[in-house]
Amino acid sequence: MINLLGKKIPIPPGYEAHLEGCEKVNVGLRPQAIHICPPSPGKIRGSVFLREALGLEDEVLIQVENEMKVVVVTQTGQDFGEGSEVSLEFDLEDLYIFNCESDQTLCCGIEGN
């Protein structure tokens, strides 16, 4: 099980070998792989801290638990302005899992969940 910003993500069978011997891992997602949606139960929740228009895209800073901030890149014009309560969605196939001690990539994407 991986705890990502308060959300528990089960590891499907076949991926345990990638994480064997790791008590802690770092998890990464590209900002373009995260999607903002209305608040919903069971998803990572936060609030829009800052939104910066970059032309065709907006860079959005979402404040989640423990004052941590997550960068999301979205299409320009989404209706979630600063202060909006939101949830974050992503596909498990977009997760990168790294060994905390060596920074070695353990897994690029999780399928079958």
The model's pLDDT over 26-68, given as tens digits with 9 standing for 90+, comes to 889 999 999 999 999 989 999 999 999 988 899 999 999 888 9
Same domain, 71 and 41: yes
Tokens of 70: 């997550």
Cβ proximity of 70 and 60 under 8 Å: no
Task: Write out the residue range of the structural domain in which residue 102 sits.
Answer: 1-29+93-113
Same domain, 77 and 50: yes
Same domain, 81 and 45: yes
Same domain, 58 and 43: yes
Same domain, 45 and 81: yes
pLDDT mean across residues, the chain: 87
Q: How many domains does the structure of the chain reveal?
A: 2
pTM, rounded to two decimals: 0.83
Same domain, 70 and 55: yes
Same domain, 5 and 43: no
Same domain, 62 and 84: yes
Q: What is the pLDDT of residue 113?
A: 44
* CATH code for the domain in which residue 50 is found: 2.40.50.140
Minimum mean pLDDT among 9-18, 62-71, 79-88, 98-107: which range?
9-18
Determine the average pLDDT of the residues in 76-84.
85
Per-residue burial over 60-81, b = 16 or more CB atoms within 10 Å of its CB, e = otherwise: bbbebeeeeebebebeeebebe
